[in-house]
A and B are shown apart, each in its own frame.
Chain A
């Protein structure tokens, strides 16, 4: 080993530095592995706490409909149904608007319009005004991401005091006119499925928009150029080339948003009405698994805790499966995009 003189810039690592290097590497590895341990712990912890309730109620817990803590009879079919019903409805509206916004953002509509405007007043090469289209595009993207930054309890508050009073007259009119239709078979007296679905769809739009926009931007521009070169209109290109090419990424985004919607708690706990009811009516109060936990857990008695843990385990299983599926789809989509 070369001898080291004082004042020399380079030096071989000392024993202490080598020891620190090894220790640091091990520490990083352990910390990283802790993430996997955490997921396992989450499942075990909730699973163990649910065992007493599982022994007592078995699988029929999943399809019985009463929740009566006085008679110690518990079933969560209405909650499972409510969770899936609200999430799927919200997913429908959220995907519609989220993908539309993603197309709007990835097609540069705003930038194009502003550029045309600037060109009309001959400012499109101006050092300040010329960059305006780009900056406005960035601002719009950030605004949609801000939708995700608003805490869900604030959406709940807004839904409670703004959305419900706003839609109530329309809902009650629908009920009196078309009450025979199952979706409108009750009136909206306060919290209910529709306001919960509306707020939930607003909350998942940013997730879908962000992931779909990434997928659309990742489509190679040669595909777009080829479509235009063949004489396709803008929307023939979008519907025939861009959306199909980006479909895996968009689908992954929708699955992840579904996971969000299934686990979303506060907005639903405040808006869905907390009623143990199995219904398809949009205006009826109902309940979801997450809202059940939020509303019942704080005041639960000792015998009710294991039952709630069982419900939590069901929610955990559903959301973990959906999220894993979504993450896998996105991983595959990214691998495919890289191969292109």
Chain B
């Protein structure tokens, strides 16, 4: 249609448009704009609202951090004031007895977290390998990933209930092994998901180079993927260990508590009730005796320091991963 229009008329139309546009451009483009409207001023409702909300958010963030410092301060103040070497070497005191320590609880916590790690580290890493290697549309892989995500929010007390039914009732008694099994349920999802992430982050060219050299899938995993992803995997393991070390609920009726060393009776026995720092804090905090309450605070300090150290080690690994 437009082709049939006479040429000159079209030209003059576009010329007129150009003239108008030039005339527009010569005018001040901001003529109608009140720039004071855009000022960040306390007198303007829009910006005042913005400033107030900014300060509110700052205040709320500070408020959210206060409990952390309050907890740490109380731990150092109340836990630190009766801190001594005896805490680490002695056994928990009987009611009304003075002094005492929680050496057996530290050993118990380490042993049970150790059992849980022995179960979950191989399981978790190899599951992570599977998830990272599975093709994107794999149904099984997404089901496993989804299960792991659901398990991260699994109530810790139910892990205890499960281990009670699956281990305590079958082996016939409370034991460190049952405690370790309960903790492993809580550690597993963290290790699976962080291992998968770490392995998936390994550059594809490294994997392809390995396969190109004729390595089998297993060789690629063992010699290229796992060594490269190791810092990230270790971060995940450390996070899981830190979480398990602080868990109380799964141990309440699986490992129970004990006032004696795990070696008592002459030999090392994993099938007897075992003390742990977390359960000691819970038990002693409810006692009406001053000495026990003080011990609970000291144990809380030791536990938090332990958990924080493991966390910091984990974070230092993750920094190595970033540098690669």
Co-complex (A, B): yes
Q: A35-B148, A297-B252, A315-B155 are in contact. Are A156 and B285 (CB under 8 A)?
A: yes
B248 touches A205 (CB 8 A): no
The residue in B49, B75, B130, B213 that gathers the most chain A C-beta atoms within 10 A of its C-beta is B130
Tell me the chain A residues, 10-61 only, with Cβ under 8 Å from chain B.
10-13, 17-18, 20-21, 23-25, 27-29, 31-36, 38-39, 41-42, 45-46, 49
Contact mask B33-59 → A, CB, 8 Å, 1/0? 000001010000011011001101110
**How far, in angstroms, from A270 to B285 measured CA to CA in the complex?**
9
A11: B residues at CB distance < 8 A: 214
Partner-binding segment picked from B89-97, B227-235, B302-310: B302-310
- Smallest beta-carbon distance B149→chain A, Å: 4
- Smallest beta-carbon distance A269→chain B, Å: 8
Q: Is residue B143 within 8 Å, beta carbon to beta carbon, of the partner chain?
A: yes
Partner-binding segment picked from B9-17, B21-29, B216-224: B216-224
Closest to A43 in B: B162
Q: A28-B126, A153-B248 are in contact. Are A147 and B148 (CB under 8 A)?
A: no
The residue in A21, A34, A151 that gathers the most chain B C-beta atoms within 10 A of its C-beta is A151
* Size bin of chain B's contact surface: 35 or more
B162 touches A34 (CB 8 A): no
A101 touches B157 (CB 8 A): no
Q: A149-B307, A157-B300, A263-B154 are in contact. Are A31 and B61 (CB under 8 A)?
A: no
A29 touches B65 (CB 8 A): no
Q: A24-B218, A309-B161 are in contact. Are A154 and B281 (CB under 8 A)?
A: yes
Q: Is residue B198 within 8 Å, beta carbon to beta carbon, of the partner chain?
A: no
Contact mask A161-203 → B, CB, 8 Å, 1/0? 1100000000000000000000000000000000000000010
- Smallest beta-carbon distance B235→chain A, Å: 13
Tell me the chain B residues, 213-258 only, with Cβ under 8 Å from chain A.
213-219, 221, 242-243, 245-249, 252-253, 256
B31: A residues at CB distance < 8 A: none
Closest to A104 in B: B61
Partner-binding segment picked from A62-70, A73-81, A114-122, A227-235: A227-235
Q: A28-B129, A42-B162 are in contact. Are A35 and B147 (CB under 8 A)?
A: yes
How many residues belonging to A are interface residues under a CB distance threshold of 8 Å? 94
- Smallest beta-carbon distance A202→chain B, Å: 5
A290 touches B249 (CB 8 A): yes
Q: A24-B218, A39-B151, A109-B58 are in contact. Are A265 and B249 (CB under 8 A)?
A: yes
A45 touches B57 (CB 8 A): no
**How far, in angstroms, from A162 to B79 measured CA to CA in the complex?**
14
Q: A42-B162, A312-B161 are in contact. Are A235 and B53 (CB under 8 A)?
A: yes
B68 touches A143 (CB 8 A): yes
A233 touches B303 (CB 8 A): no
> What secondary structure prevails in chain A residues at the interface with B?
helix
Q: Is residue B110 within 8 Å, beta carbon to beta carbon, of the partner chain?
A: no
A236 touches B126 (CB 8 A): no
**How far, in angstroms, from A319 to B249 measured CA to CA in the complex?**
16
Q: A104-B61, A265-B249 are in contact. Are A46 and B165 (CB under 8 A)?
A: yes
- Smallest beta-carbon distance A84→chain B, Å: 14
**How far, in angstroms, from A80 to B285 measured CA to CA in the complex?**
26
B304: A residues at CB distance < 8 A: 150-151, 154
**How far, in angstroms, from A327 to B142 measured CA to CA in the complex?**
12
**How far, in angstroms, from A31 to B218 measured CA to CA in the complex?**
15
Closest to B146 in A: A327
A262: B residues at CB distance < 8 A: 155
B54 touches A21 (CB 8 A): no
Q: A101-B60, A154-B281, A319-B154 are in contact. Are A32 and B252 (CB under 8 A)?
A: no
Partner-binding segment picked from A92-100, A125-133, A215-223, A276-284: A92-100
B161: A residues at CB distance < 8 A: 46, 293, 297, 308-309, 312
The residue in A32, A144, A149, A263 that gathers the most chain B C-beta atoms within 10 A of its C-beta is A32
A45 touches B166 (CB 8 A): yes
**How far, in angstroms, from A330 to B150 measured CA to CA in the complex?**
12
**How far, in angstroms, from A10 to B185 measured CA to CA in the complex?**
43
- Smallest beta-carbon distance A296→chain B, Å: 10
Q: Is residue B107 within 8 Å, beta carbon to beta carbon, of the partner chain?
A: no
Tell me the chain B residues, 142-184 only, with Cβ under 8 Å from chain A.
143-144, 146-151, 153-158, 160-162, 164-166
Q: A158-B74, A266-B249, A270-B285 are in contact. Are A312 and B158 (CB under 8 A)?
A: yes
Q: Is residue A142 within 8 Å, beta carbon to beta carbon, of the partner chain?
A: yes
A152 touches B64 (CB 8 A): no
Chain B residues at the A interface, C-beta cutoff of 8 Å = 38, 40, 46-47, 49-50, 53-54, 56-58, 60-61, 63-65, 67-68, 70-71, 74-75, 78, 122-123, 126-127, 129-131, 133, 140-141, 143-144, 146-151, 153-158, 160-162, 164-166, 185, 188-189, 192, 213-219, 221, 242-243, 245-249, 252-253, 256, 278, 281-282, 285-286, 293, 296-297, 300, 303-304, 307-308, 311, 315
Given contacts A13-B216, A35-B192, 6 further A-B contacts (CB under 8 A): A24-B217, A24-B221, A31-B126, A35-B147, A154-B303, A233-B46
14 A–B contacts from the bound complex (CB under 8 Å): A12-B214, A13-B219, A38-B151, A100-B60, A101-B64, A109-B58, A150-B68, A151-B247, A151-B304, A265-B248, A269-B282, A312-B157, A319-B153, A324-B146
